[in-house]
Amino acid sequence: MKFRYRAIDPNGKKVEGEAAAESRKLALSNLKQQGLRVTELAQANQASKATRAKGKISREELLLALSELATLLKSGVPLKDAIDSLIGGERAAALQVAFERWASGLRQGESFSGALRDSGVPVPEYLIQLVRAGELTGEMGSSLQTAVTQMEYEKQIATEMKNALVYPAILCVSGVGAVLLVFTFVVPQFQNLLEHRDKLPALAWAVLASGKWVNSHMAWLVAGTIAIALVLIRVFSLPAVRSRFMDGLQGVPVVGEMIVEAETARWASILAALVGHRVAILDSLDLAKNAVRLPSRRKRLSRVFGQVKSGIPLSESLKENDVITNTGYNLLRAGEKSGDLAHLLRSLAELHSESGRNRMKRFLTLIEPLAILLIGGVIGVIIMGVILAITSANDIVF
């Protein structure tokens, strides 16, 4: 098989080319014997596949690979060797190329957190921050495992939410379809009654007029709906837009509280991991702040960082800037007094995680009956309008 490589020759010049070998390890050995310092080595056909499969790394594959890497690191395997062992596995081509980029960055003297960011792998910001913490403390395996655990938790929450929204989504689609059927096949049969508006009840006239307008502009409605959906998908694919949108939802009852609970739990969990890995409190606050997605909360945490730097206790600063609740304040104050801040931060994270999950379950439980009431109400109003039009037809002289 052939491998494409990039390397540095004995004169310090960058070179690249192809090498034939039975395995990657043998290719690497042959190139080293030629006096080349290899910075990147990938199987030629995998590289072309990865180019076509760019951005196609599934979350499940990524979680599995990161979990394997964390296990290897916790077992004492050096980082470079652990990443090299991942390269030989049977995985998607795009993920293989990501491993190659990680290994290449490390060989060039780059930090793993920098190589991870530069590789373009779709990982959350807090994972990179925790990897940086692991680099500072020498406990990369534990830091990476903490990040993987958080990613698995968020994946589970997202899966639960998607599953719970399936039935309401089906109800809404069915309801819209039913309304369109009524407007398309039933309402047109009574459109001649619109000429006698003065003898029609207001509801009957509104339903018939709406049906006539929908039938006249059906193509534009369908095209407009598709266009709006595509634009919204494109806009909300931008992280900055999603962050601002979620920030604006903080004031919405139930939904806003759920978002705040999730952000507080994530922040407390990451801060607990950093403090637990003996990262200085100011460095921990700075790293944990960067993992927060909501701009308004990030600004508050920036103020907290400045106040703690000036000597104000963390718990008091967090309470003053409305970052945590009274319960959280009491937990952190106890942690500061006992010297076990990491444990109390983990307790705070668990408290908000459980509370946020319960809020989400209550919210999702309400969606189904609300969807039924909404769709049923709309269809009921339309049917009532049609019935009123039918009964009014007896009073109209044609």
Read off the pLDDT of residues 142-165 as tens digits, 9 standing for 90 and up.
888 888 887 887 788 778 778 877
- Give CA torsion, residues 141, 142, 143, 149, to 10 deg: 110
Predicted pLDDT at 45: 54
pLDDT confidence tier of residue 9, bands split at 50, 70 and 90: confident
Sort strands 37-43 and 14-20 into parallel, antiparallel or unpaired: unpaired
Instruction: Work out the burial of residue 324: count CB atoms within 10 Å of its CB; fewer than 13 is exposed, 13-18 middle, 19 or more buried.
Output: buried
Per-residue pLDDT averaged across 184-204, rounded? Answer: 78
What is the token pair recorded at 278? 């003996």
Higher pLDDT, 319 or 37: 319
Q: Taking Cα atoms as reference points, which of 323, 319, 316 lies closest to residue 352? A: 323
- Give CA torsion, residues 385, 388, 394, 398, to 10 deg: -20
Higher pLDDT, 379 or 392: 379
Query: What share of the chain has pLDDT > 90, as a percent?
Result: 5
CA 154 to chain centre: 8
* Whole-number Å distance between alpha carbons of 329 and 316: 7
How is the beta sheet containing 2-8 ordered, strand by strand? Answer: 14-20, 2-8, 37-43
Predicted pLDDT at 396: 59
Average pLDDT, the chain: 81
Helix residue ranges per DSSP H, the chain = 24-33, 44-52, 59-74, 79-87, 93-107, 112-118, 125-137, 140-181, 202-216, 218-236, 239-248, 255-276, 281-290, 295-309, 314-320, 326-338, 341-392
Predicted pLDDT at 39: 63
CA 155 to chain centre: 8
**CB-facing half-sphere around the CA of 382: CA atoms within 13 A:** 23
Predicted pLDDT at 47: 44
pLDDT confidence tier of residue 41, bands split at 50, 70 and 90: low
pLDDT confidence tier of residue 15, bands split at 50, 70 and 90: confident
Q: Are 147 and 139 in contact (CB under 8 A)?
A: no
pLDDT confidence tier of residue 122, bands split at 50, 70 and 90: confident
Predicted pLDDT at 328: 86
Predicted pLDDT at 271: 87
Residues 374-387 have pLDDT tens digits of: 888 888 888 888 88
Per-residue pLDDT averaged across 328-353, rounded? Answer: 87
The amino acid that residue 244 corresponds to is R
